Amino acid sequence: MTPRELITQYLNAARGGDFDAAYAYFADDLRIRIPGRSAWAGERIGKEHAVAYIDAARARYAGRIELEVTDVLESDERVILMVTERFLGDEPLEIRRANAYTVRDDRIVAIAIYEGDQYAVDEQLH
Q: How many CB atoms lie within 10 A of CB 49?
A: 19
Task: Print the domain residue range for 66.
Answer: 3-124
pTM of this prediction? 0.88
- Report how far residue 65's alpha carbon sits from residue 55's, in angstroms, rounded to the nearest whole number: 12
Nearest to 70 by CA among 103, 99, 91, 108: 99
* CATH number of the domain where residue 55 is located: 3.10.450.50
For the chain, what is the domain count? Answer: 1
Q: If DSSP codes are grouped into helix, strand and coil, which group holds residue 90?
A: coil
Distance CA 4, CA 108 (A): 11
Tell me how far apart the alpha carbons of residues 30 and 87 are, in angstroms, rounded to a whole number. 25
pLDDT digits (tens, 9 = 90+) for 15-40: 888 999 999 999 999 999 999 888 88
- CB neighbours of residue 75 within 10 Å: 10
In angstroms, what CA-CA distances link 122 with 65, 66, 82, 103, 116? Answer: 17, 19, 19, 28, 12
pLDDT digits (tens, 9 = 90+) for 84-119: 988 776 777 788 999 999 999 999 999 999 988 887
